[in-house]
Structure 1
């Protein structure tokens, strides 16, 4: 599976928000400068997280984004699905019933082993991402990382 580059961006932005003090926000411009990514495209991706109910956004000079719920209640899967959707990346087209080697329909009443294998892999991948919250991610960071993130994203 190949995720869009924006998946990495929003994961890092969400993890950064999880490190901020309660009520603090960070703007698209702050994130774009912090991570060296284009602000207009990042803004569109962060809007996906707002629509998914993962972030809230406020406008104005002190506006920005904050987590919409505790970091322990937002999983990595939540963030990925907000920007990339939840569709299974493997779409079986039943090519075993096409071409010169086509099998008869009566031999294809069950999904093929390849479709079954790919579906199981996708479900395993989803389950592994669903098992990790933003709080879990923050818990693995070096002890000084949250303070550094807060300092670098603070408004001066």
Structure 2
């Protein structure tokens, strides 16, 4: 009897451990949770590679975009742990699950680009880098970074 109970318990443990993982991409499933990095030294999220908050720059401004904890992939399909960049000029992050608008202040980099050049008028500007999935649904505040820059007169 003890041997049967032990074998049944082992079989149940094996069966439950072979199920679908939480992060597996399932056709038609929504993906809103973002994976965490294993390293505690690096925070997952997006960042400006070549700019920091408070920088003074001249237009056109070269923008280099980075991401930790996910991979860059062109728009078109939704894949777990993947997405592409957006820059929001003089605006805030987009809430998790909301679609990033497509207009002159919400720039989409759906080909997977990580570098661009922006022509900005002189003055103070906020730039928000926003990561979103393959159909432009935002990964939210945790996957955004806002900085303020000053564009100088040429």
Question: TM-score, normalising length from structure 2?
Answer: 0.19
Greater helix content: 1
Which structure carries more strand by proportion?
Answer: 2
TM-score by length of 1: 0.19
| Structure with the larger RCO, 1 or 2 (CA within 8 Å, 6+ apart) | 1
